[in-house]
Amino acid sequence: MTDLICIGAVAGSFGVRGEVRLKSFCAVPEDIESYSPLKSEDGSQSFSVSLTRVTNNGFVAILGGIDTKEQADAIKGLRLFAPRDALPLLPDDEYYYTDLTGLEVFDTGGTRLGQVKSVENHGAGDLLEIHGPGLKDTVLLPFTLAAVPTVDLEQGRIIADPPDGLF
């Protein structure tokens, strides 16, 4: 498990005074401001965050050290991270996406199905993107209790009961 959790991303610049469009990945989107300062993935940059207004699909924000449109344009796509210990503890049946990525996936009979490449959410629920040597393409497994009855972070594995024909 990593010490930093991605909780937002810079979607681009907003206006000419260095403001940015900010996407929040927090359960309560405006909570992203309360985890300030946020860091870049490698930890080399740190930004204070001040939300100024709501916009389509996110917020307009002022990031510390970003004062011009050119600086804001230069960090488009930058993912912003908070330390794990600053984030709330999750209930037993909830997980941070980063903790699921890389886990081995086995079926209920113990056969290895693959490994979690990423977690996707296109609006209808979370999907585990699974890839592996026996798979021609990646497989999207619904991340529901019926399809994924067991997540064992300590053992680094998921036990899945995928719908028939998925694998």
Q: Residue 62 is part of a domain; what is its CATH number?
A: 2.40.30.60
pLDDT at 18 (0 to 100): 94
77 and 105 inside one domain: no
Supply the pLDDT for residue 22.
Answer: 97
Answer with the one of 86, 108, 140 that is the final residue of a domain. Answer: 86
Residue 79 lies in a domain: yes
Query: Is residue 167 a part of any domain in this protein?
Result: no
**82 and 126 fall within a common domain:** no
Residue 33 sits in the same domain as residue 101: no
Q: What mean pLDDT value characterizes the chain?
A: 92
Report d(CA 21, CA 62) in Å as an integer: 9
Residue 139 neighbours by CB distance under 10 Å: 19
Is pLDDT of 89 > 90?
A: no
- The residue among 62, 86, 110 that closes a domain is 86
Same domain, 80 and 117: no
Residue 124: its pLDDT value, please? 83
Q: Which domain holds residue 77?
A: 4-86
Total domains present in the chain: 2
The per-residue pLDDT for 91 is 86
pLDDT beyond 90 at 148: yes
Give 101's contacts (C-beta < 8 A, 6+ positions apart): 116, 117, 118, 119
Q: What percent of the chain has a predicted confidence (pLDDT) above 90?
A: 75
Same domain assignment for residues 66 and 103: no
The answer to whether residue 122 scores a pLDDT higher than 90 is no
Phi and psi torsions of 82, nearest 5°: -120, 150
Neighbours of 26 (CB within 10 A): 17
Same domain, 110 and 82: no
The pTM of the full predicted model, rounded to 2 decimals, is 0.78
